[in-house]
Chains A and B, each alone.
Chain A
């Protein structure tokens, strides 16, 4: 078994489950929302600078 960075014992099952749930239920969804929101924000800002999207038929 690998040594921990601070030399402590390997994670317990409890810590592993907690980390798994925090990651999948909170951290990753939050990141996804931030990325999509940030993307929308960047487009919005670019539309303020370049004007609204132009579509010609």
Chain B
């Protein structure tokens, strides 16, 4: 019998009333297989929801499982264990099924060895972690709250630091993951290239022309001679320079800045009395009168320090500059809005002074995912748009 004939026979049999099997047997048979199927289906869901299953592939047992064992969620005085599915699998049925289908991709990755070594895992970790953060941010840390609850927290029993941060968070009902990243596994190593800097490099000035102003969007290495052999320091993000001469890939720069007449004067600032850093020079370059031309000192009444205007002439590669400061600040403003609005509305930059921002910023930036370059850029943005710079203040 061909396959087609078999199918036709099958279909015909299904279409006609049974001739030899009684209705009772059919109904009973359907009923029993239904029960068995439903039981099997739920058992399968449950088995794939146990930690044993999660760590049955070595990708998980060698990496995240080992790390979990160092944390409070593995062993604690109350004896409550958080297992992988407690934190990672949604409890609501629809989302649970969706997550299971998603796991089929992970099985695919397993079969084809996408992350079969520790190195590959670490390289992929940041992406994986970001997925989990996005999920926990979107559901306001629902999985954590299946066990933890702000309303049940005894503030008196907590450390002062915890109370200071978490009481306001409880009022706003902020999700736990905003502050408690890396609670169960090691945090991903920050990858070398910052996405923000990569975005800016797409808008970098192609070629620099003499007489024009440019702004550094990444730390630019400075040299004290056209031969580019003696390192003279680094420009900070957001620093404004004027190009004096260009020759091939090398440019001669002029930087107008201020320095504090204290120590070697290695750090250069944007304006008199303002702690907006624009460059850090090597000791030798900072003391070289042919490179650094200082003017008459003025005293800052707030601090009693003497500041001198300086005009610095140095060389650099024609790389790492944008022609328009607006490009820089737009990107920084976006980072600021997305990084600093999670727990409170982000304060207007001109709500604080240039010199107040560094301390405020460094106290907060640990709560964000900003990489070091992004941090420097956002701080430069805040300082350059502080109350000292806005006309209305």
Q: Is B21 an interface residue (CB 8 A)?
A: yes
Interface size class of B (residues with CB under 8 A): 20 to 34
Min Cβ gap A32→B in Å is 7
Residues of chain B lying within 8 A (CB to CB) of residue A6: 8
Contact yes or no, A56 B140, CB < 8 A: yes
Min Cβ gap B101→A in Å is 4
Q: Per-residue CB proximity of B1-22 to A under 8 Å, as 1/0?
A: 0000000111011101011110
Q: CB within 8 Å of B: which of A32-49?
A: 32-33, 36-37, 39-41, 43-44, 47
Contact yes or no, B29 A53, CB < 8 A: no
Contact A11-B138, Cβ < 8 Å, known A36-B97, A43-B97, A53-B95: no
Q: Is B26 an interface residue (CB 8 A)?
A: yes
**What count of chain A residues pass the 8 Å CB interface test?**
36
Contact yes or no, B98 A11, CB < 8 A: no
Contact of B16 among A2, A41, A53, A57 (CB under 8 A): A2
Q: Is B153 an interface residue (CB 8 A)?
A: no
Contact yes or no, A10 B16, CB < 8 A: yes
Chain A contact surface mostly: helix
Min Cβ gap B43→A in Å is 14
Residues of chain A lying within 8 A (CB to CB) of residue B12: 4-5, 11
Residues of chain B lying within 8 A (CB to CB) of residue A24: 29-30, 33
Contact of B14 among A2, A23, A47, A53 (CB under 8 A): A23
Contact yes or no, A43 B134, CB < 8 A: no
Chain B contact surface mostly: helix
Contact yes or no, A25 B134, CB < 8 A: no
Q: Per-residue CB proximity of B314-335 to A under 8 Å, as 1/0?
A: 0000000000000000000000
Residues of chain A lying within 8 A (CB to CB) of residue B33: 24-25, 28-29
Residues of chain A lying within 8 A (CB to CB) of residue B99: 40, 44
Min Cβ gap B275→A in Å is 40
Residues of chain B lying within 8 A (CB to CB) of residue A51: 134, 138
A6 to B43, CA, bound (A): 44
Contact of B139 among A16, A43, A55 (CB under 8 A): A55
Contact of A53 among B20, B41, B100, B138 (CB under 8 A): B138
Q: CB within 8 Å of A: which of B60-96?
A: 90, 94-95
A25 to B20, CA, bound (A): 19
Min Cβ gap A15→B in Å is 5
Nearest chain B residue, comparing its CB with the CB of A42: B98
A57 to B288, CA, bound (A): 62
Give me 24 A-to-B residue pairs in the complex whose CB atoms sit less than 8 angstroms apart, sorted by A's number: A5-B8, A11-B13, A15-B9, A16-B21, A17-B20, A24-B29, A25-B33, A28-B33, A28-B37, A32-B41, A36-B97, A37-B97, A40-B98, A40-B101, A41-B98, A41-B101, A44-B99, A52-B135, A53-B95, A54-B139, A54-B140, A55-B138, A55-B142, A56-B140
B residues engaging A (CB < 8 A)?
8-10, 12-14, 16, 18-21, 26, 29-30, 33, 37, 41, 90, 94-95, 97-102, 134-135, 138-140, 142, 145, 173
A residues engaging B (CB < 8 A)?
2, 4-6, 10-13, 15-17, 19-20, 22-25, 28-29, 32-33, 36-37, 39-41, 43-44, 47, 51-57
Which 10 A-B pairs rank lowest in CB-CB distance, beginning with the nearest?
A13-B20, A40-B97, A40-B101, A43-B98, A52-B138, A19-B13, A11-B13, A55-B139, A24-B33, A44-B98
